[in-house]
Amino acid sequence: MTRFGFVPDHGLDWLEASGEHSDVVLSTRVRIARNLQGHAFGSRARINDREAVLRCFRRSVERSQMLKGGTLLVLPEVPVRTQEILHERRLVTRDLLGPEGSVPATSAAIHFSAEEPVSVMVNEEDHFRMQSLLSGLRILEAWQIVDQLDEELGREIPYAYHQEFGFLTSCPTNVGTGLRASVFMHLPGLVLTKEISKALRGLGELGLTFRGLYGEGSEVVGNFFQISNQTTLGRTEEDLVDDLERVVRTVIEKELHARQVLLRDAPALTEDKIWRAFGTLCYSRMLTFEELMNYLSGVRLGVSLNILPDVSVYTLNKLMIFTQPAHLDQAAGRNLSDDERDAHRATLVRSVLANDGDVSSGASDIQGNRTN
């Protein structure tokens, strides 16, 4: 896979479309929030609190089988473009980086395991946020990975804990287990058949919610949704994982049925939408990211219905990541204007689709245009 600057490749396995139901579920993420006992967290944390947290984490890494030998990036020391690449790859949150264009807060860091699909954000909204991001529907597996890491770190780090409420966190909705599990889904069938509202209705009553590509506060584009648990207090980790998996499997079943309804009741319109999307990506000279996501949705639908059998979901997943602004800037070797990004994005997409999903060929095409 093409490397864009000093950014570890760890955490990109979810692009490979290797997990269960990867034609509907792009990825599963499980995140656990913990805080260091005796130090303020969230907006009340002072510089000395944050520095103490990072020192504590560095010591614990040396004793962790899952983390030792990995890569620690202290974000204020990392180039801004690399920070944005990490965000575009869904490896760090905007809360960890701070507002776009600003310098991350003192001692904000991200640690990647060398061997396991797990990472830890340090000094985000909470002191420690352990996370595992896997391809397809693998909620239980992702939880088991972060649970193992939580056990390891918990032997070294005294967590903030209350006998009645459980693990204490910055956000009240995370108090208890501190667990947030989310599944990133592509639901074009339900959107096109106008069944999406019905399919997602009642999530709140089950303690679940849905959001866009980058989680809370982000818009839904390209028919991509994140479904996650909303609260943790009074629930066990097993209950939260089981409830989310049960709901997601129901949504998958409804989505697959909706896709077959489209083929049965509107085959010409469905195929036209798919081929128009594919043709636009193959021949466009300018593409905004929102346009790309919407066209990728049509092409993904075509792949899942075997209308476009020569395109892989893995290729489409890579395009979704490597066509974002910081990745394009890195490939071009400079900060691009909006119009330049739209042109470079179209160039990258055309090249990748023409070269069997090879992102490096598209990046080379962009680099070849640096002086144009």
Least confident of 10-14, 35-39, 42-46, 359-363: 359-363
Q: In the predicted model, what is the mean pLDDT of residues 28-52?
A: 93
More confident site: 216 or 335: 335
6 within a domain of the structure (yes/no): no
316 φ/ψ sector (left φ>0, alpha ψ -120 to 50, else beta): alpha
Percentage of the chain with pLDDT > 70?
90
Q: In the predicted model, what is the mean pLDDT of residues 221-250?
A: 90
Strands (E), the chain: 25-34, 71-74, 109-112, 119-122, 128-135, 161-162, 166-167, 179-186, 208-211, 224-229
Residue at a domain's end among 258, 281, 299: 258
Flag whether pLDDT at 196 surpasses 80.
Answer: yes
Mean per-residue pLDDT over the chain, rounded: 89
3 within a domain of the structure (yes/no): no
Q: Taking a C-beta distance cutoff of 8 angstroms, is the pair 30, 179 a contact?
A: yes
Residues 213 and 290 in one domain: no
Least confident of 30-44, 200-214, 323-337: 200-214
1 within a domain of the structure (yes/no): no
We report the CATH number of the domain holding residue 21 as: 3.30.590.10
pLDDT tens, position by position, 289-347? 999 999 999 999 999 999 998 899 999 999 999 999 999 999 999 999 999 999 999 99
Q: Taking a C-beta distance cutoff of 8 angstroms, is the pair 338, 329 a contact?
A: no
Residues 242 and 217 in one domain: yes
Residue at a domain's end among 199, 229, 258: 258
Please tell me the predicted confidence (pLDDT) of residue 372: 42
299 within a domain of the structure (yes/no): yes
Flag whether pLDDT at 369 surpasses 90.
Answer: no
Flag whether pLDDT at 134 surpasses 70.
Answer: yes
Residues 171 and 236 in one domain: yes
Number of compact structural domains in the chain: 2
Residues 219 and 285 in one domain: no
Instruction: Tell me the residue range of the domain where 58 lies.
Output: 13-258
Residues 286 and 219 in one domain: no
Smallest CA-to-CA distance from 347 within 297, 283, 293 is with 283
Least confident of 18-32, 224-238, 351-365: 351-365
Residue at a domain's end among 258, 276, 296: 258
Please tell me the predicted confidence (pLDDT) of residue 106: 83
343 within a domain of the structure (yes/no): yes
Stated pTM of the model: 0.89
Residues 246 and 318 in one domain: no
Please tell me the predicted confidence (pLDDT) of residue 309: 85
What is the torsion angle, in degrees rounded to the nearest 10, for the CA atoms of residue 58, residue 64, residue 67 and residue 68? 80
Q: Taking a C-beta distance cutoff of 8 angstroms, is the pair 192, 173 a contact?
A: no
180 within a domain of the structure (yes/no): yes
187 within a domain of the structure (yes/no): yes
Residues 47 and 101 in one domain: yes
Least confident of 19-33, 57-71, 230-244, 327-341: 230-244
Please tell me the predicted confidence (pLDDT) of residue 141: 96
